[in-house]
Amino acid sequence: MDSILVTGGRPLHGEISISGAKNACLTLMPAALLSDEPLTLTNAPRLSDIRTMTQLLESLGCEVASLQDGRVLAIGTEAISNHTADYDIVRKMRASILVLGPMLARDGHAVVSLPGGCAIGARPVDLHLKALEALGAELDLREGYVHAKATGGLKGGVIDFPLISVGATENALMAATLARGTTEIRNAAREPEIVDLATCLRSMGAQIDGDGTGTITVQGVDRLHGATHPVVTDRIELGTYMLAPAITGGEVELIGGKRSLVAAFCEKLEAAGIDIEETERGLKVSRMNGRLKPTNVKTEPHPGFPTDLQAQMMALLTLADGTSVLEETIFENRFMHAPELMRMGAQIDVQGGTATVTGVETLKGAPVMATDLRASVSLILAGLAAEGETTVSRVYHLDRGYERVEEKLGACGAKIARVAGA
């Protein structure tokens, strides 16, 4: 297994281009199933999770052409030959559940494996299933699979989520586009990836209002047509790389970045003493001198502070001049990076969903282990600031969500290399 070797202590200067959003692309790809005409996605990120979704769509009988070195995905769904999403693919990636709504809406039946456990908590799919039931689906759970049927097609209805779920909102939204009549999705997720999905669906002929707010209204149509859609900028990749000059010092311009994508995160970064400037091409982040200031962070659904930036923000706050409290409200068990950061000299006390971080003056390089996608990149950020060498092992997590991380950081002066494992 490969690892990443980082030699810390170098301020970063330069620019980093931000890729298309992994999480948007993972819902846009299954949206292709809603039409029998091709959907072309531009600005796609080149990541292992995208290859997994490609594999899943291909297993259903779709044709997925990867063009321009993976930047463009052309998805043809004319011939769906199989309506079962197999456990072997679904267990690799939870987002596989996103084929359920579109397949059901298109053909009135679908079988999808239950995703099972996950490193950052239980993460059930009950909200996805209840939403589809509200649209008239009949569901049966047998031998680890959801067997879904909608005899005579899905019917519009009211979906009132008891808690906000990004994935369940996406599944409901996709299914509702082809349901007969009007669907109202209440307590909907408001993430930019939802707005991107709705924008793509509208360009395929769907009638959707209210995306980006807590109530989305969908007027079902008989069919959707093909379209070409650019994937929105990855706000989590953006936030992660904004933290790179923040933790090392220096100045980096994030090309394609927009403050509106990461507003709550920017406020916390500025509270920690980081300068953020909007430029014509993106966002410029700098930290020229002085210790970082402590700040408290609470993760929340969008537009709050994203859970997917909590681990990286914790890496930064380990070096603040004082104590910061980080509260994780979205996922249980999402502090697995804390003990690894402590191996590098960080002082962190975790009690349930709260981590108290007492800043230290320096971190020291150490061998550490990635436990999930965002945890792995938080360890790389810590390694960039630490004295000496840090080896981050199990980087397959990283490759799920970060494209060419060594090249992007290396171009700004970081000493970082991938070491091929046995």
Name the minimum Å distance from CB 191 to ligand UD1.
Answer: 7
Name the minimum Å distance from CB 168 to ligand UD1.
Answer: 5
HEC secondary structure over the chain: CCEEEEECCCCEEEEEECCECHHHHHHHHHHHHHCCCCEEEECCCCCHHHHHHHHHHHHHCCEEEEEHHHCEEEEECCCCCCCEECHHHHCCCHHHHHHHHHHHHHHCEEEEECCCCECCECCCCHHHHHHHHHCCCEEEEECCEEEEECCCCCECCEEECCCCCHHHHHHHHHHHHCCECEEEEECCCCCHHHHHHHHHHHHCCCEEECECECEEEEECCCCCCCEEEECCECHHHHHHHHHHHHHHCEEEEEECCCHHHCHHHHHHHHHCCCEEEECCCEEEEEECCCCECCCCEEECCCCCECHHHHHHHHHHHCCECCEEEEECCCCCCCCCHHHHHHHCCCEEEEECCEEEEECCCCCECCEEECCCHHHHHHHHHHHHHCECEEEEECCHHHHHHCCCHHHHHHCCCCEEEEECCC
Instruction: Confirm or reject binding of residue 330 to ligand UD1 (CB under 6 A).
Output: yes
Tell which positions 21-40 bind ligand UD1, by CB under 6 A: 23, 26
Count of residues of this chain found to bind ligand UD1 when the rule CB under 6 A is applied: 20
Instruction: Confirm or reject binding of residue 127 to ligand UD1 (CB under 6 A).
Output: yes
Nearer to ligand UD1 by C-beta: 6 or 330?
Answer: 330
Catalytic site residue from 25, 62, 118, 412: 118
Instruction: Confirm or reject binding of residue 131 to ligand UD1 (CB under 6 A).
Output: no
Name the minimum Å distance from CB 165 to ligand UD1.
Answer: 3
Dihedrals phi, psi of 127, to nearest 5 degrees: -70, -35
Name the minimum Å distance from CB 33 to ligand UD1.
Answer: 16
Is residue 318 within 8 A of residue 346, CB to CB? The reply is yes
What mask of x and - would describe binding to ligand UD1 in positions 40 to 59, judged by CB under 6 A?
--------------------
Is residue 241 within 8 A of residue 381, CB to CB? The reply is no
**Is 118 a catalytic site residue?**
yes
Tell which positions 299-328 bind ligand UD1, by CB under 6 A: 307-308
Name the minimum Å distance from CB 185 to ligand UD1.
Answer: 14
**Residue in 53, 73, 105, 125 binding ligand UD1, rule: CB under 6 A:** 125
What mask of x and - would describe binding to ligand UD1 in positions 154 to 173, judged by CB under 6 A?
---------x-xxxx-----
Instruction: Confirm or reject binding of residue 231 to ligand UD1 (CB under 6 A).
Output: no
Name the minimum Å distance from CB 15 to ligand UD1.
Answer: 26
Nearer to ligand UD1 by C-beta: 11 or 167?
Answer: 167
- Name the nearest CA neighbour of 365 among 388, 382, 384: 388
Nearer to ligand UD1 by C-beta: 247 or 330?
Answer: 330
Instruction: Confirm or reject binding of residue 88 to ligand UD1 (CB under 6 A).
Output: no
Instruction: Confirm or reject binding of residue 91 to ligand UD1 (CB under 6 A).
Output: no
Dihedrals phi, psi of 102, to nearest 5 degrees: -60, -40
Instruction: Confirm or reject binding of residue 89 to ligand UD1 (CB under 6 A).
Output: no
Nearer to ligand UD1 by C-beta: 95 or 326?
Answer: 95
Nearer to ligand UD1 by C-beta: 167 or 245?
Answer: 167
Instruction: Confirm or reject binding of residue 348 to ligand UD1 (CB under 6 A).
Output: no
Nearer to ligand UD1 by C-beta: 166 or 346?
Answer: 166
Nearer to ligand UD1 by C-beta: 23 or 248?
Answer: 23
Active site residues: 118
Binding residues (CB under 6 A) for ligand UD1: these are: 23, 26, 94-95, 121, 123-128, 163, 165-168, 307-308, 330-331
